[in-house]
Structure 1
């Protein structure tokens, strides 16, 4: 399926995510998810955007919590789903859970690099 075959909000999610507009990406996909509450794939991607939003604020505890739940939502969609390399997303989430300390709630955002935290690259649809 080409990118044009996906719902507009789904495509907009990836466009906003690519621009670093994580909260906006979260919000636009949440609108679609509200009409398809059973769709755990959308829910997991919403949480990925929320992780990046938390990263902008240095909220390590929130990032860990969201990574654990996003992993549960997305793992069943491996290896690929709707243009997304879910295996890659799952590996990134698992890596976050290893790298982010359990005993730290918040750090200055620029310190996240000390833990090896990187932005998850998502496709442009």
Structure 2
């Protein structure tokens, strides 16, 4: 399957931890088909991770939870992505979020947090 260039760039930027750029990349193609909950789920995962980085835990929890809800219906593999692995990552992120609405930026940056390297299976 041939994937949109923005999707491939999203994977690259996600792996680099550039979550804001991830949002911009996927929003372009999601706007063409807003019923695509797979893209919306990936978008919201990236936005949630961005919120977490800056201490907006309430926003992170909301976005990451929505991402899990949207992506669950696409497993085990969709667009070459191991969606089940992504769901496990999201669940680990949810568990790692502190029980607060906001935390200081310095604390958010220093917080140990799960990581995931996305890969597209092209076979």
Query: TM tier, shorter chain?
Result: 0.7 to 0.9
Residue correspondence of structure 1 range 31-110 to structure 2 within 5 A: 31-107=28-104, 108-110=107-109
Runs (4+) of structure 1 exceeding 4 A deviation are none
**Larger deviation: 24-33 or 7-16?**
7-16
The DSSP-based 3-state class of the residue aligned with 2:111 is helix
Q: How many residues align?
A: 119
Q: Cα RMSD between the aligned structures? A: 1.8
Distance 1:97 1:18 in 2: 19
TM value normalised by structure 2: 0.85
Q: Deviations over 1:38-89 (max 9, x none)?
A: 1000000011111221232122222111111001110000111111111111
Contact 2:96 2:114 in 1 (8 A): no
Structure 1 residue 29: deviation in Å?
Answer: 0.5
